[in-house]
Amino acid sequence: MPDLPDARFPVTRMRRNRREDAVRRLVAENRLSPDDFIWPLFVIDGDKQKVPVDSMPGVFRYSPDMISEAVQEAADEGIPAIALFPFTDPAKKTEDGREACNPDNLVCQATRAVKAALPEIMVVCDAALDPYTTHGHDGVMNGDEILNDATLEILIRQSVVQAEAGCDTIAPSDMMDGRVGAIRQGLDEAGLGHTRIMAYSAKYASGFYGPFRDAVGSKLALIGDKRTYQMDPANSDEALREVRMDIREGADMVMVKPGMPYLDILRRVKETFAMPTFVYQVSGEYAMLRGTVDRGWLDEKVILESLLGFKRAGADGILTYFALEAAKALNARR
């Protein structure tokens, strides 16, 4: 920034542009709106089910027949997209996660229900095996080893059945090498070339995922940890390599996960690649903010402040469990 000759006190008073609401709105550098949100939703077996997630107050698991009602409320507030995650019956979990490829699994049922009721809503579906495996990992295993290439074949089939059910955007979150290119080829060969890929490109082996694993039922099943395939929190340059590879393999959008502890990564990714870049405000971030707000330790305005921080760092969109609440708050300001 140039050192302008008149940029000194008292000629320059920075507070002049902060005095009134009108001027603050005019000079705001970043804006937050419902258009920025993707709302993650959990799906559970059964009928007329709306089951709270204990570790995420205010978050629920919906049965497929109930999920469209929730999505309608989101659509009414201007939220353009949802992301679906299943709570799989333990009886349907296997070592190879084959339920992921069942055209009538929970995610496919929910996708068909949502698209039938609200075809204009973008549905994002995860491509990963952890909700479906007995060991809680994102890929198939041989002993203690996650088998990268064998997992890719399953991810292709999972992505195709989800797209055939009506999913608009496949979001590979597994962090297997080469999965974006493999899924892109598989979708194209199945005549699903219009289905886009939002890659979890910089996904870290974070401690902030605990409540999510509770919500999808993989927390107790998880054997060991995921450090051999998710990224080391110490690394930044590696994230750019991951993103570059995913773009070259055909990703239409990229994502950084988690959000708040990785704002530096988000900024670097957006500035380096100028791609549609998303960030996931993950379950642990939600639980921390929700818990402190509910106890009165922080004002609820920190929710919107945290989301605006993602926009300022370069996010084009935000996956957040606060989506509906935040959209209502923003719309009430109009």
Q: Is 219 a catalytic residue?
A: no
With a CB cutoff of 8 Å and minimum separation 6, the contacts of 274 are none
- Residue 232 is given by DSSP the state P
From the candidates 203, 226, 270, 311, give the one annotated as an active-site residue. 203
* Strand runs labelled E in 4-92: 37-44, 50-52, 60-62, 81-87
- What is the residue type of 154? I
Known catalytic membership, residue 270 = no
Whether residue 2 has a cis bond before it, omega within 30° of 0: no
Closest CA to 152 of 131, 130, 172: 172
Alpha carbon distance 231, 228 (integer Å): 8
Instruction: Using the structure block, give the residue that is written with the tokens 């109009």.
Output: 334
Bridge partners, 94 (sequence order): 133
Q: Which residues pair with 169 in a beta bridge?
A: 124, 196
Q: Distance of alpha carbon 74 from its chain centroid, rounded?
A: 16
Instruction: Kindly name the residue from 93, 115, 226, 257 that is annotated as catalytic.
Output: 257
Angle at 24 between CA 20 and CA 27, to 5 degrees: 140
Give, in degrees to the nearest 5, the angle at Cα 97 between 158 and 207: 95
Over the Cα atoms of the chain, what is R_g?
21
Active site residues: 203, 257
